[in-house]
A and B are shown apart, each in its own frame.
Chain A
Amino acid sequence: QKEVEQNSGPLSVPEGAIASLNCTYSDRGSQSFFWYRQYSGKSPELIMFIYSNGDKEDGRFTAQLNKASQYVSLLIRDSQPSDSATYLCAIRLDTGRRALTFGSGTRLQVQP
């Protein structure tokens, strides 16, 4: 079992809709959870992170964390064609390493 699992997609949504991206993780020692956006050929850009159960909102983005279910999601409201990219979920364990472990990403396509 991979440490961080994401559906590779593509997830296709119409412009203006809500896009829901999901991520599950295997290690209960996971401390914090990051969402990155990556355009083709570019480096990842941080969208937001979350470390407490519940929801965290930042503009059009909402991260949701459920540690009991080992599940984290990202909602994008009012999706725009410019949101079309690959979304990477990453976890940080509370160990000496303190590095991020990434999922393989979900490709999102927002149709105009």
Chain B
Amino acid sequence: DGGITQSPKYLFRKEGQNVTLSCEQNLNHDAMYWYRQDPGQGLRLIYYSQIVNDFQKGDIAEGYSVSREKKESFPLTVTSAQKNPTAFYLCASTVAGLEENYGYTFGSGTRLTVV
């Protein structure tokens, strides 16, 4: 079955540590997105990529970094510069230009906690 796989499901980070969240899709979608969700809040855009080897900052990119070396993969690194990283992280994908035909598919999320 096609879909988006996020791993790990739960992640604990120590102060000053960088951690990487994985997002892999087998839908052949070209556009991928990272969102952050805090309790009782909507989703906020961190980074997005519409093509391999290209990505753009979203609304809250500070303290995060991404790469897009393969079409199916869009990992997110939460760096030590991100002062309040505890949140629910969601990866999504779609076909750029055909969003209403394909919709935006979400992964099951990674819950990151600072310990």
Contacts and interface: CB of A to CB of B under 8 A. Distances in A.
A43 B50 CA distance: 22
B101 to A, nearest CB: 10
Q: How large is the interface on A (under 10, 10 to 19, 20 to 34, 35 or more residues)?
A: 20 to 34
A103 B42 contact: yes
B96 to A, nearest CB: 6
Interface residues of B, number: 25
Contact of A102 (B42, B48, B56): B42
Interface string A81-112: 00000001010100001111111110000000
Contacts of A100: 33, 43, 45, 92, 104
Interface stretch (B12-20, B62-70, B72-80, B106-114): B106-114
Interface in B17-67: 31, 33, 35, 40-45, 48, 50, 56, 58
Contacts, number: 55
Q: Which 10 A-B pairs have the closest CB atoms?
A: A102-B42, A43-B106, A104-B42, A102-B43, A43-B109, A46-B103, A99-B48, A103-B42, A99-B45, A43-B108
Interface of A: 4, 6, 8, 32, 34, 42-46, 49, 51, 88, 90, 92, 97-105
12 contacts: A6-B42, A43-B90, A45-B106, A46-B103, A49-B100, A88-B42, A97-B48, A98-B31, A100-B104, A102-B35, A102-B42, A103-B42
Interface of B: 31, 33, 35, 40-45, 48, 50, 56, 58, 90, 92, 96-97, 99-100, 103-104, 106-109
